[in-house]
Amino acid sequence: MKLKPLIIIILTLIPFSSFPENAGTIKVGVISNVTGENSTDIVSAPLVIKMAADEINQKGGISGKKIEIIVYNNEGTSVGSKIAAELAVKDGVVAVLGFHYSFAALAAAPVLQKNGIPLIADTATNPAVTLAGDYIFRVCFTDEYQGQMIARIAREKLKASKITAIIDTDSRYSIDLTEITLDNFKKRGGRIGHVFKIKNDRQEFSEITDTLKKSDSDVILVTSYTIQAALIIKSIRKAGIKASLIGGDSWSYRITNYTGELGGKNYFITGWSETLTDKNTKKFINNFRKRHPDTSITQSAGFCYDSMNLLADAIRRAGSTDRKKIRDALAGTKNFSGITGKMSFDENRNPRKPAIINRISGRKIISEYFY
């Protein structure tokens, strides 16, 4: 990891700020992998937060003060995330938003906790993230909650009695989510079948599909990220395997871009989906597309939008930009209404909120809340 180029990239992004420093603004840091590995997965994240801040500013800001957004590029690495957090401390931000991936949030959280700067992570689902300290929050559900919901959907909605799993052993997310899901499936009276272990660069799955053809499992759990998950799903369906397929938020609603039209029963859960039909989601999507017609809306978008509005709500309730008071207001959040659902925080600063179950039919994704 070459630190010098990373620092240059971060500094050149600081002019992204909406307002001059002498305007009495409220500085909010956004840490995101603007460039680097998987940057296309979250390209809309800083833009969504900026849009939310602009909407607040257009209504007079917070107690007459405008929100200033400062974006730091972590290049999708742990080292970059730590450096970005240190720069945010130097710049005197009142809070930090961002982090699509848990490993990045885990690298930055100790720096922010030590300096008493609230962090609201958008889609960092590892339970350890918020355990870094009492200044660390998230607006997405945890892998623990996600695994419980997947197991419940498999047993209750799909009526599955036996589950097979495919784990990406290069991914902590895949390992943990699979383990949690299987444990909860078993607790609900289900049986565990074969557990396949693969590497994240694997692209050929005939050995797995040959075994699956002989399996009596009625649901197959796939916890790889979008592109590899799509390869696995296509291979399974091409092999004529009829079992239901299920996954977590790593699939994302971009998955049909890679699978093409799918037959069979295919489900994945998320904390938000652009395919929801409620008026708030539709309004958000329409506003974003007007501002950025050539930018796709990624899965983290809803969480990013809610994180900025939640922070603004906490600052208003705190009646101050004092970080401790903002932290206390965040912790006291009750039934905050966002586009990802109504939200309150538990004792570990994880949100209590509904999940979204997404069914893939052909190339279409149909989404609904699952309580």
Q: How high is the pLDDT of residue 352?
A: 87
The pLDDT tens digits of the residues spanning 339-361 come to 998 899 999 999 988 888 999 98
Task: Say how far apart CA 220 and CA 142 lie, in whole Å.
Answer: 21
DSSP symbol at 138: E
**Chain length of the chain:** 371
Q: Would you say residue 8 has pLDDT above 50?
A: no
- All structural domains of the chain: 3-141+278-353 (3.40.50.2300), 143-270 (3.40.50.2300)
Out of 46-60, 148-162, 249-263, pick the least confident: 249-263
CA-based radius of gyration for the chain? 21
Average pLDDT, the chain: 89
Taking residues 257-276, what's their average pLDDT?
89
What letter represents residue 315's amino acid? I
The pLDDT tens digits of the residues spanning 116-173 come to 999 999 989 888 999 999 999 999 989 899 999 999 999 999 999 999 999 999 998 9
Task: Say how far apart CA 192 and CA 31 lie, in whole Å.
Answer: 39
What letter represents residue 46's amino acid? P
Q: Would you say residue 3 has pLDDT above 50?
A: no
